[in-house]
Amino acid sequence: MADDAGEGEQYGLLLYYKYASVPDLDELVSFYQSNCSSLGLLGRVRVAPHGVNVTVGGKLSSLEKHIEAVKARTLFEGTDFKLASSHQPLNDRVAKECGFTSLSVRIVDELVTFSSHPLLKSPNISNAGRHLSAVEFHSVLESAGKILEESGNDNEGLVLLDARNLYETRIGKFQSPDVETLDPEIRQYSDLHSWIDDNADRLQGKNILMYCTGGIRCEMASAYIRGKGTGFENVFQLYGGIQRYLDQFPDGGFFRGKNFVFDHRISVGSSDPNILGTCLLCGCCFDDYSARCRCAYCRMLVLVCDNCRVDAGTYVCELCQKHGKGGPLVSAVEDGIPEESLQQIDLKTHPCPRGIGKRPILHQTLNAMLILRVSL
Ligand SMILES: [Zn+2]
Ligand SMILES: [Zn+2]
């Protein structure tokens, strides 16, 4: 597919979503099918009774034409189109996993699956948290530090909530030294509501600053939190997500590491070269998902560095480890590492060239043992 864009033609990616009542689903599907096909765009279009969610790639000029055509429809008034130039999919496997080998236009019930539970009704989007622009979001985090300095207040009224999955948070997240950060560590978005239910006491009475990749996940999740009533009113969401924030703050601002994306770019970084992710096995700094290694149990993406990766390797993600899949860590310890050497190992760390991503070597040893067990 390397030649699709032709000589000198730049390739690009376009992402947008819009929550609005769609009067005629079939008509909108036909529009997308004919418009995207005629422009040679590939990717995913999801149309639901309450809106659309689109990720398509193609020639930059074709994507611009697509935006014009979409803008001409009143339904899309005020839509935030995120257009980025990009390399083409690196290889067929990545392209296929990201859905860039074909055009898929489908009618769905929900743009994002908030819950797989049939009885849990999706929250009402009109009750979503207030949008903060990237600049507003930034200045809230910035002033949190200042308020702290001036008042001696411990700033407990503000929490940062990452609405994304663990494998995304692993390689990049917002960090502000003065603000409490909550990472739900979920495998998929449909697990978020349960985390919110279980952690309601950590959210109640707080000013909740939420963020996700492009904004769509926060729309529903913020509405869900606000739906909990008294003490859950002050929910704010980063408009346009990390994508728009990094456009606005190319040096990363308060965002550390890379933004995981669901297209063939895999992740997008700022000019800050620091690596937040670490190899599951050796703990070295690593944040490249292009090998697409997955947990043997839950199939979640895991980070395994080039040195640790082996053909047909069996990996166990940190969540499955925590929940005892593949033989609990404790039993690996019981199996023979003496107490004092554990302490010794624990003191050593695996320094990252840039200082981030330190992890005790202990983890390598245990992880390596775990891998052995699973492959037996
Ligand atoms: Zn490694
Ligand atoms: Zn797993």
List CB contacts of 25: < 8 A, sequence separation 6 or more.
Answer: 47, 49, 107
Nearest listed ligand to the Cα of residue 304: 1
Question: 89 with 137, same domain?
Answer: no
> 283: CA distance to ligand 1 center in Å?
6
Question: 100 with 133, same domain?
Answer: no
Question: 247 with 137, same domain?
Answer: yes
Is residue 270 one of the residues assigned to a domain? no
Nearest listed ligand to the Cα of residue 303: 1
Which strand ranges, in their side-by-side order, compose the sheet holding 267-269? 172-174, 255-260, 267-269
Is residue 112 one of the residues assigned to a domain? no
Give the residue numbers annotated as catalytic, written as ranges: 212
Question: 248 with 289, same domain?
Answer: no
Segment 270-289 mean pLDDT: 94
State which residues form the domain around 174: 125-260
Strands (E) across the chain are located at 11-19, 42-48, 51-59, 82-85, 103-107, 130-132, 158-162, 172-174, 180-182, 207-211, 235-238, 255-260, 267-269
* Rg value, the chain, Cα: 22
Q: Say what the pLDDT of residue 256 is.
A: 96
Average of per-residue pLDDT values in the chain: 82
DSSP letters for 140-164? HHHHHHHHHHHH----TTEEEEE-S
CB-facing half-sphere around the CA of 81: CA atoms within 13 A: 16
Question: 151 with 101, same domain?
Answer: no
Q: Flag whether pLDDT at 318 surpasses 60.
A: yes
Number of independent structural domains in the chain: 3
> 165: CA distance to ligand 2 center in Å?
13
Q: Flag whether pLDDT at 20 surpasses 50.
A: yes
Segment 71-99 mean pLDDT: 81
Q: Say what the pLDDT of residue 334 is.
A: 30
> Which has the closest alpha carbon to 214: 43, 28, 84?
84
Segment 235-242 mean pLDDT: 96
Is residue 1 one of the residues assigned to a domain? no
Dmax over CA atoms of the chain, in Å, equals 70
> 366: CA distance to ligand 2 center in Å?
16
